[in-house]
Amino acid sequence: MSQLSDLLFETSVAASSLKDYLSGARLRLGVTGLSRSGKTVFITALVHQLTRAVAAKTAGPGRKSLLPVFRVAAENRLVSAHLDPQPDDAVPRFAYEEHLSALTGADRHWPQSTRRISELRVTLQYDRKAAGLMSSLRPGPARLDIDIVDYPGEWLLDLPLLGKTYAQWSRETLEAASAAARATIAADWRGATALTDPLGNANEETARRLAALFTNYLRAAKTDRYALSTLPPGRFLMPGDLEGSPALTFAPLPVQEESAPPAGSLAAMMERRYEAYRTHVVRPFFRDHFARLDRQIVLVDALAALNSGPAAVRDLETALADVLTAFRTGRSSLVSTIFRPKIDRILFAATKADHLHHTSHDRLEGVLRHLTSRAIERAEGVGATIDVIALAAVRATREAIVKHDGESLAAIVGTPIEGERIGDDVFDGVAEGAIFPGELPADPRNVFRGDALALPEDDADFRFLKFRPPVAALGRDMEPMPLPHIRLDRAMEFLFGDRLG
């Protein structure tokens, strides 16, 4: 029965892939990252840069290109970019206009973060590079449809559950919760679990109580204080329309891996609901969305993990390894493109690079490369191209040299969000502040020993300031021009620049 189910699953994926291929020149780009990593801002900034790139070229004399590394724009071959209706009618549309208004409006603020899957199609028209006879036989601009699929990274971390039984998942989850970094916040749930008989009669009240305590533990682990990353099942933190359903009302129990729990027991009920979660939540996401991706960017808030300490850094390393394990990587061929697409390029991006001075950007990349090194080696072995960068899709700060106690220090300057504070100073959301961000260690291995940020003064408050988006300049049409960024053009070139030759 399992083999038949897998065959039907693979057939449906192949059918979807064939449909995508026959639709013409297109690329499906997955955008993900764990919560608060900047997915919504990245997509909004990416689309805004593309759709306003031509206007930016003529915005005024002496204006520098905002996308110097994105070759099709730097070479003036980008004819136009515009939004088109997305191909998947059953998937919510990414609220681009709403998010852009949040970033560039009079009360500029960061848009709401990703809570569900969404999609957006941006269509590029571009001039081909002159390449002999074939170029002359295809007059006029070429076209590429980029279907951007936005989904929470927590859902991605659910994909390994497809290969784990309830007993295996329970054992791993209980073991992880007993580690020093998690034991305190998991104490209430672990205590209730220890007092529960898995082989006792199934009881809905017990199941709901354990599921609620388990969810509280996951929620606490996600806060800035702990910044832990490996917290499946992902829908427990983002339930959406599944909230309160049996598929989200289960929790790990200490059960035997060699034998099934007796019918009618609490463990049997929990196992059945775990299987329902895999069947009705995880598998459809993989089949309908994830398995059809061509390229992928994974946004990582490495600074949050660094600020929380070595335990969070190690947990982030584990999460990133799980992320790469979930991807179907390899070199694309005509057959795989038509029937079984593979992700042949993956970009890991350490976000919020504007919170550091540029002298630490290479070190931030080095930290992320070190965190992903073992997983990257496996993926590159099967033909996938992987890169690591530090970026800020929207740059909220600028750099300056500031005198502090008679010493010249490299600082970042921006407008902190109202209510942010340094010591006794509380910002009003209007006044700018100069922050000394410190610098990352030259040896990325030091982050596992807790040597994450070296500050001029040992004051962790400097690390957590949140800044408002910058003020957007208006173009000749009185519409907002693209906001400044750090290496967004490099990300664009890596993810789809090769398709614009």
Range of the domain at 333: 2-151+289-394+479-500
Q: Has residue 468 been placed in a domain?
A: no
Q: Has residue 160 been placed in a domain?
A: no
Q: Has residue 471 been placed in a domain?
A: no
Question: Hunting for tokens 């029965």 — which residue is that?
Answer: 1
Q: Has residue 158 been placed in a domain?
A: no
DSSP code of 351?
-
One-letter amino acid for residue 232 of the chain: P
Are residues 491 and 378 both part of a single domain?
Answer: yes
Q: Has residue 157 been placed in a domain?
A: no
The pLDDT score that the predictor gives to residue 465 is 77
Choose the final residue of a domain: 248, 281, 314.
Answer: 281
Are residues 312 and 384 both part of a single domain?
Answer: yes
Are residues 91 and 49 both part of a single domain?
Answer: yes
Higher pLDDT, 2 or 371: 371
Are residues 14 and 70 both part of a single domain?
Answer: yes
Q: In terms of DSSP bridges, do strands 118-126 and 26-33 run parallel, antiparallel, or are they unpaired?
A: unpaired
| Residue 328 binned pLDDT confidence (cut-offs 50, 70, 90) | low
The pLDDT score that the predictor gives to residue 104 is 96
CB 45 within 8 A of CB 400: no
State the first-to-last Cα distance of the chain, in angstroms, to the nearest integer. 47
| pTM confidence score | 0.85
Are residues 136 and 239 both part of a single domain?
Answer: no
Number of domains the chain is built from: 3
> What's the order of all strands across the beta sheet hosting 407-414?
398-404, 407-414, 433-435
One-letter amino acid for residue 204 of the chain: E
Q: Has residue 474 been placed in a domain?
A: no
| Phi, psi values for residue 123, rounded to 5° | -105, 125
Q: Residue 480: name the closest of 138, 59, 43, 78 by CA.
A: 59
Q: Has residue 179 been placed in a domain?
A: yes
CATH of the domain at 367: 3.40.50.300
Are residues 425 and 312 both part of a single domain?
Answer: no
Higher pLDDT, 221 or 252: 252
pLDDT at 62 > cutoff 80: no
Q: Residue 360: name the closest of 408, 464, 352 by CA.
A: 352
Residue 147 tokens read as 């279907």
Choose the final residue of a domain: 250, 281, 312.
Answer: 281
Strand intervals (E) in 34-94: 78-84
Tens digits of residue pLDDT in 427-480? 999 999 888 887 788 888 887 765 444 444 444 333 567 899 999 999 888 999
Are residues 366 and 382 both part of a single domain?
Answer: yes
Tens digits of residue pLDDT in 145-169? 999 999 888 888 888 898 899 999 9
C-alpha neighbours within 13 Å on the C-beta side of residue 12: 14
Are residues 324 and 457 both part of a single domain?
Answer: no
Are residues 213 and 322 both part of a single domain?
Answer: no
C-alpha neighbours within 13 Å on the C-beta side of residue 34: 27
C-alpha neighbours within 13 Å on the C-beta side of residue 261: 22
Dihedral sign (CA 38, 39, 45, 46) = positive
Are residues 275 and 358 both part of a single domain?
Answer: no
Angle CA 274–296–143, to nearest 5: 130
pLDDT at 84 > cutoff 90: yes
Q: Residue 67: name the closest of 82, 45, 84, 83 by CA.
A: 45
Tens digits of residue pLDDT in 177-192? 998 889 999 999 999 9
Residues contacting residue 205 through CB under 8 Å, at least 6 positions apart: none
Are residues 16 and 146 both part of a single domain?
Answer: yes
Are residues 58 and 131 both part of a single domain?
Answer: yes
Across the range 266-275, mean pLDDT stands at 97
Q: Has residue 472 been placed in a domain?
A: no
